[in-house]
Structure 1
């Protein structure tokens, strides 16, 4: 247990810790998804948890189940329409607040410290919080939240791929790959595309 620096980081912050992270700020399509997690019990199995970006998709899927067993979890989503209306940063904070609210409804945790990944504290959140730069590589709770957010969002895009097979969302998960951009130019946006992200690609007014 001593060699898990991520767990030690959280312990030094206190026992009442919630980790928060998001997935999907950059893609052209799909929601932004946030997760909030609170550790129930630590085990050696959790030593594999790390920043979701450093893990393979297969490993993230396997760790997802371990995290669901070992943590209380809340998930929050902001839709592509909300992203277009209030911009991606505000939509990210909205998803984070929704994730925290869902988690707090489960655990009734009022006097907790939120550890949020990144440079910014969560706007319009009233409780105690601390922004942790590169937190998904420092904090076990943030790293666990990053995996939940990433896997949840990937699964949403795989489901959307069944509705829009020409777009191959299951492969690029909505990110602006060359193939994704090419099909966008050919077929135009779907209802799950972020119109405000497409102006340069489609050469149209972002509100159309």
Structure 2
């Protein structure tokens, strides 16, 4: 673990769910069992074309007791609230516990970027960060995972057998920094246990 100070991190865990192809089903299965009083904020990034009409927020909102909204500039991270990256925007976490959005631009492949989200999450939230890498193509999130681990956070990944596309989870596991590789049906319980165990994490 890094000696990163937690003096300015939020007073609750922050969970980043990152995914690409096959992500809607995975996200619904992860979010559906989580209670409305989840003692953690959640941020969702799924790769989408910048001109894609966003239905993800509404679909996720119908699948979970958590409050789900599209992320906006300067939104505040709040326990029990899921913020979803809008198409065409990268999501950054800025201290103290706020959302920043920047245009993703015209260059593929990772839009919105899991790496950018996770790197900024790591720096601002330190040991309160939990990164969860779900089904998807490519290697996005690999660099971000290294940042999360460097600053004392935790990483989970979906296992290959339950992933519609195994690229992102495999790339995550290849870092050697994933604390738990789990079947999709087991991830919600693992997330809930983790955030409950860490909701009273002391600041140093």
TM-score, normalised relative to structure 2: 0.31
> Could you say which structure has the greater relative contact order, defined with CA pairs below 8 angstroms and 6 or more residues apart?
1
Bigger helix fraction:
1
Bigger strand fraction:
2
